[in-house]
Structure 1
Amino acid sequence: MNYMPGTASLIEDIDRLRQQAVMAIGQELNRRAMGGPNPSTWISQVRRRSSLLGSRLEETLYSDQELAYLQQGEEAMQKALGILSNQEGWKKETQQDNGDKVMSKVVPDVGKVFQLEVVVDQPMERLYEELVERMEAMGEWNPNVKEIKVLQKIGKDTFITHEMAAEAAGNLVGPRDFVSVRCAKRRGSTCVLAGMATDFGNMPEQKGVIRAEHGPTCMVLHPLAGSPSKTKLTWLLSIDLKGWLPKSIINQVLSQTQVDFANHLRRRLESRPASEARC
């Protein structure tokens, strides 16, 4: 592969900037878990680093469309983390005996969002394998997902995906699919997976299937304070199912989807030893 003069240095600069941005994410998440400083300061730092990164990306590395997807991924992450950083206004939807809980609130220009908080008795590495590295296998263990396909990978941490959702609520919620840009940032033992709806020319809407929209959404994974063998998972879910559906049904479906997800994920992790998951 031939490079333009100076491209190698540019690539090194970009990688260094990416590492700095991810380091900020990891440090702040750890501080937040222990009652650290105001998250708004951290969000501003991430946005500044993202702007600097964007200014250094050149056409010699990415096409205009790929740059647009990279920017959408960063935007999804910033918006989702911004919602999570604001602790005001959350209302409890449901709480399970094992401590799993779902909360919700209405966010201006976004709508109603749901937040799942769970602790999984598995190390963060195992969750990262299933949710990021083996993303396309989710349909094997989550009945709410028929299939996930990675349509395109851009760089090391940005993906365009197509997801077919299973019918829900006694078939009242018919077939839905999603085309999303997803951005995974990882630093040490902390991972953030964010996403939002996007357009992808090679995956037009399908007959008989309603094209719904994610976003902004994200999952945050980090070791439980004082128990590194356990992982705290926070999932922000924002979704527009499209079509005509009563809000009561939508709210019930989305909150139950998050509760079910946690249960299915635990069973998956328990049924697949770490050595098998890496094969």
Structure 2
Amino acid sequence: MPTETSSLELVGVLDELTPEKEKYSDALKAAGEGFVEAYNIFQDADFVTKKGWKSELSKDDATVHSKNLSFGHVFALRTTLPVPIDIAFRESFLNFDDLATWSENITFSKTIAKLTDHVDVVHYANPDVAVVQSREFLVARIWRKVDDDIYVSARSVKLEHVPTAKGRTRGHLHLGCARFSPDPTDANKTTIDYLLSIDLKGLIPKAIVNLTMAKIILKDFTETKKHYANVLASENAQTHELEHHGV
């Protein structure tokens, strides 16, 4: 029988740790708590309208907003990109170990342990951003499909066998979340909502922290948008090649 610490049920889906994975029970719990917190924010009417949210930074077709919540400062970004939801989810979440190969916002990305079909633990780092030196993170991630939307969430965890990377500072990710929503009128478009709340650690002035956070989330959007376009171009080229050969 699964125990309360080795199983997690969210939105009708049960995750259970096998005996050899029970050492990750705290990670499973953290993932679940982060998911619930993020899901509640996404469902808040003020999140959609951005009532009470401050505009921090804009670029192209994306604007970063922020708001002080009970647990800390949260940054959000919403955008609609010309990519099907399955490709967006695959490239941004499932293919995590490849992130550092295409995103300038990630210096390394590695899956530490796959706990269930919906939960894993990953290790990654961001590069230097202005005067803020590189931060690395060890987080538990979880995803759920709710109706037509896909929700993903990540929260920092501690594991003795994964020390802080040499020469880096380990930040604390309170919330790193996204919601992928298919466009109701165009299956080739996906609306993506990002949420980010991080304690960068260290003695950094609040104004610099806020600007750094806004730059991180906006840079992530820019890199993701570019990658989606490259993936679609590659897949379309392969399709045309197969059609050319009558496959």
TM-score, length basis structure 2? 0.82
CA gap 1:215/1:60 in 2 versus in 1, 3 angstroms:
closer
Separation (CA, whole Å) in 2 of partners of 1:264 and 1:189: 25
Separation (CA, whole Å) in 1 of partners of 2:25 and 2:173: 20
Residue 140 (structure 2) pairs with residue 178 (structure 1): no
Q: CA deviation at 1:188?
A: 6.6
Residue 61 (structure 2) pairs with residue 95 (structure 1): no
Q: CA deviation at 1:247?
A: 1.4
- State the AA in 2 paired with 1:69: A
- State the AA in 2 paired with 1:84: F
- C-alpha RMSD of the superposition: 2.7
Instruction: Select the residue among 14, 21, 26 that pairs with 2:12.
Output: 21
Q: CA deviation at 1:207?
A: 3.9
Higher strand content, 1 or 2: 2
CA gap 1:62/1:121 in 2 versus in 1, 3 angstroms:
same
Instruction: Select the residue among 214, 221, 234 that pairs with 1:255.
Output: 214
Aligned 8 A contact 1:124 1:189 in 2:
no
How many residues end up aligned between the 2 structures? 228
Separation (CA, whole Å) in 2 of partners of 1:164 and 1:138: 11
Residue 133 (structure 2) pairs with residue 155 (structure 1): no
- State the AA in 1 paired with 2:195: L
Aligned 8 A contact 2:30 2:156 in 1:
no
Instruction: Select the residue among 40, 53, 68 that pairs with 1:106.
Output: 68
Q: CA deviation at 1:164?
A: 1.7
Separation (CA, whole Å) in 2 of partners of 1:90 and 1:62: 44
Give the corresponding residue for 2:27.
Answer: 69
Separation (CA, whole Å) in 2 of partners of 1:60 and 1:208: 35
Q: CA deviation at 1:135?
A: 1.0
Instruction: Look up the SS of the partner of 1:238 in the other structure.
Output: strand
Q: CA deviation at 1:187?
A: 5.1
Aligned 8 A contact 1:190 1:221 in 2:
yes
- 1:65-102 C-alpha deviation (Å, 9 max, x unpaired): 2333222211110011223333252122233342x121
Q: Extract unaligned runs of 5+ from structure 2.
A: 239-247
Separation (CA, whole Å) in 1 of partners of 2:86 and 2:189: 10
Higher helix content, 1 or 2: 1
Separation (CA, whole Å) in 2 of partners of 1:125 and 1:211: 31
- State the AA in 1 paired with 2:83: Q
Q: Extract unaligned runs of 5+ from structure 1.
A: 1-5, 8-13, 23-52
Instruction: Look up the SS of the partner of 1:155 in the other structure.
Output: coil
Give the corresponding residue for 2:202.
Answer: 243
Residue 186 (structure 2) pairs with residue 223 (structure 1): no
Separation (CA, whole Å) in 2 of partners of 1:206 and 1:258: 22
Instruction: Look up the SS of the partner of 1:83 in the other structure.
Output: helix
- State the AA in 2 paired with 1:104: S
Separation (CA, whole Å) in 2 of partners of 1:127 and 1:270: 11
Paired residues for 1:124-135 under 5 Å: 124-135=85-96
Separation (CA, whole Å) in 1 of partners of 2:166 and 2:91: 31
Aligned 8 A contact 2:83 2:189 in 1:
yes
